[in-house]
């Protein structure tokens, strides 16, 4: 029998979740238990309740790797600098996809050394392959143990933009708690009913078949897809504003039949924004859906729209794109060739005094967006991309292939596809899920991340929200930094004349 005072009733705190979680973190506690305010109290496990754990993230130096049953390595050996000495903080063995394992191992091999780089704790690691301390990665973890090791670490990604000397322990501020958007309970609770009603932006939405598996290999369900879009909506929606959508629907997940839908159905709710659009003179108008708010985005996700495919122009300037799409696809070649091609494209853009912004496609390629003022035609935008493609192919015939005919493209090279630029054509937006195994996400990149070892599907549903919390919206200049083309076209003409003269 318990003594009086052993059990104490804890006060509840309504509407102060993020502040309470920060206080819990500073107190060294594990987390908080939260309940949906409108949910009933029940004497059993209930989806109305959720445990929100304190989670932190930091950058650490990769000091080596260990072997195990998984190939090509089992875990990374991590360290951080403390008073100028590199101290072991533990190993991380989770958070890796197969592609990331292979790409990272390839990146680590040239750094292998017989000498342990750790000043403190190296003897406790055991058998390891040591590396020169030149690589940095971001790791999420629950807390520090009494031995100053990481508890429950998860690998989030490589940080090529961070110098290893910046990974300092002790003198650094306490690891930051993830922002409130990430730590709040998911929109639709795991293990809940297969049908649920929610009010979003004042709209009453019905979500159905929530337990249906959309990604069989990962066992991600329709509920997971909807939760992802609810969490990423603030990042994604600015890239959908004003853009007609081609709906690509997967009612039975990525391995089931899918179909495209451009014309809005008669039974779509009246509150959806639907615009009659014709691209090009004399073309028939199609009633397109536009996703400009959270309610529409989640309504479309419930229809099985795994990815969102907007036009390159907006209603009001439908015949003038507001970015030039440079699409690099591997033609039976390694992704490192895509990386090399993208950096060459970047160099040419800099010579033209144009800025480009890269993102993974979520598939095997890379997109580079060049934002422009919406006063040029699609033909003008496509012509610039075509000249750039042919110029690069002439300089590097070993790397680029440009023929439109599939049978004429050369294997082992990068296909520079400028034909995607056109009236009415759509492209996967940044931040959208893609319908491929692994649940990859089309992810904006910093140019410092476009380096050998980058794996196209290392950004996926299981880890990208942590990344977005950390780096913010890397693609934001695509919305605001509109560029004019006249000077660039003059410079490009000069480049072509010079290249022709050399031949």
CB neighbour list of residue 294: distance below 8 Å, 6 or more residues apart: 200, 201, 230, 233, 237
Alpha-carbon gap, residue 313 to 422, rounded angstroms: 10
Q: Which residues of the chain have pLDDT under 70?
A: 1-11, 13-32, 34-55, 161, 170-184, 279-282, 503
Any domain includes 26: no
Q: Which of 147, 166, 185 is the last residue of a domain?
A: 166
Q: Is the domain of 304 the same as that of 351?
A: no
Q: Is the Cβ–Cβ distance between 310 and 245 less than 8 Å?
A: yes
Do the beta carbons of residue 349 and residue 489 sit within 8 Å?
no
Give residue 179's pLDDT: 39
Whether 382 and 494 map to the same domain: the answer is yes
242 falls within a domain: yes
Residues 300 and 366 in one domain: no
Residue 8 placed within a domain? no
Q: Which pLDDT value is given to residue 284?
A: 82
Pair 308, 245: CB distance under 8 Å = yes
Residue 276 and residue 395 in one domain: no
Q: Based on the domain organization, do 295 and 329 belong to the same domain? A: no
Burial of 428 (0-12, 13-18, 19+ CB in 10 A): buried
pLDDT tens string 297-348:
999 999 999 999 999 999 989 999 999 999 999 888 888 899 999 999 999 9
Task: Output the domain CATH number for residue 64.
Answer: 2.40.50.140
Instruction: Summarize pLDDT for 362-382 with one digit per residue, the tens.
Output: 988 999 999 999 999 999 999
Residue 106: inside a domain: yes
Q: How many domains does the chain have?
A: 3
Same domain, 267 and 401: no
Residue 51, domain member (yes or no)? no
**How far is CA 314 from each of CA 238, 300, 305, 369, rounded to the nearest angstrom?**
12, 19, 20, 16
Query: Whole-model pTM above 0.75?
Result: no
CATH (domain of 492): 3.90.920.10
Domain boundary pick from 310, 342, 363: 310
Q: Indicate if 372 and 266 belong to the same structural domain.
A: no
The boundaries of the domain holding residue 266 are 196-310
Among the three residues 263, 286, 310, which one is the final residue of a domain in this structure?
Answer: 310
Among 296, 292, 390, 288, CA closest to 348 = 390
In terms of domains, do 238 and 283 share one?
A: yes
C-alpha to C-alpha distance for 350 and 488, rounded to whole angstroms: 10
Return the number of other C-beta atoms located less than 10 Å from residue 25's C-beta.
20
Question: Which residues neighbour 190 within 8 Å (Cβ) at sequence distance 6 or greater?
Answer: 47, 223
Identify whether 179 is part of a domain. no
Q: Looking at the structure, tell me whether residues 331 and 472 fall in a common domain.
A: yes
Domain-embedded: residue 178: no
């Amino acid at each position: 029998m318990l003594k009086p005072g052993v059990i104490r009733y804890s006060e509840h705190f309504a509407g102060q979740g993020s502040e309470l979680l920060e206080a819990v973190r500073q107190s060294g506690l594990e987390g908080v238990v939260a309940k949906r305010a409108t949910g009933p109290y029940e004497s059993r496990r209930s989806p109305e309740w959720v445990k929100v754990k304190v989670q932190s993230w930091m950058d650490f130096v990769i000091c080596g790797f260990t072997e195990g049953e998984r190939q090509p390595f089992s875990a990374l050996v991590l360290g951080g600098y403390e008073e100028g000495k590199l101290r072991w903080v533990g190993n991380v063995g989770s958070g890796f996809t197969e592609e990331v394992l292979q790409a990272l191992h390839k990146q680590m091999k040239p750094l292998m050394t017989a000498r342990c780089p750790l000043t403190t704790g190296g003897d406790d690691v055991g058998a390891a392959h040591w590396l020169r301390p030149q690589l940095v990665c971001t790791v999420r973890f629950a807390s520090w143990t009494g031995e100053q090791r990481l508890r429950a670490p998860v690998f989030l990604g490589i940080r090529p933009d961070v110098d290893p000397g910046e990974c300092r322990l002790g003198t650094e501020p306490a690891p930051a708690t993830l922002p409130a958007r990430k730590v709040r309970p998911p929109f639709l609770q795991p293990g809940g009913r297969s049908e649920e009603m929610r009010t979003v932006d004042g709209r009453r939405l019905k979500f159905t078949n929530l337990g249906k598996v959309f990604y069989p290999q990962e066992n991600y369900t329709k509920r997971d897809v909807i939760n992802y879009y609810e969490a990423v909506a603030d990042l994604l929606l600015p890239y959908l504003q004003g853009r007609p959508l081609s709906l690509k629907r997967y009612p039975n997940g990525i391995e089931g039949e899918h179909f495209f839908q451009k014309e809005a159905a008669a039974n779509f709710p009246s509150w959806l924004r639907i615009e009659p659009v014709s691209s090009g003179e004399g073309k028939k108008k199609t009633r397109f859906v536009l996703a400009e708010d959270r309610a529409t985005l989640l309504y479309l996700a419930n229809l099985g729209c795994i990815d969102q495919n907007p036009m390159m122009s907006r209603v009001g300037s439908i015949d003038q794109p507001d970015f030039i799409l440079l699409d690099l696809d591997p033609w039976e070649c390694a992704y490192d060739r895509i990386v090399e091609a993208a950096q060459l494209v970047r160099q040419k853009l800099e010579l033209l005094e144009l800025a480009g912004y890269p993102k993974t496609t979520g598939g095997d390629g890379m997109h580079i967006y060049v934002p422009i003022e919406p006063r040029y035609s699609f033909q003008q935008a496509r012509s610039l991309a075509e000249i750039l493609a042919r110029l690069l192919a002439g300089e590097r015939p070993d790397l680029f292939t440009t023929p439109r005919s599939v049978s004429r493209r050369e294997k082992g090279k990068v296909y520079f596809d400028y034909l995607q630029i056109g009236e009415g054509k759509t492209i996967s937006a940044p931040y959208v899920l893609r319908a491929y195994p692994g649940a990859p996400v089309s992810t904006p990149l910093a140019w410092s991340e476009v380096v050998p070892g980058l794996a196209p599907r290392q950004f996926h549903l299981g880890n990208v929200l942590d990344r977005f919390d950390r780096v913010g919206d890397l693609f934001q200049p695509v919305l605001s930094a509109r560029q004019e083309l006249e000077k660039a076209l003059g410079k490009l003409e000069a480049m072509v004349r010079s290249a022709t003269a050399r031949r």
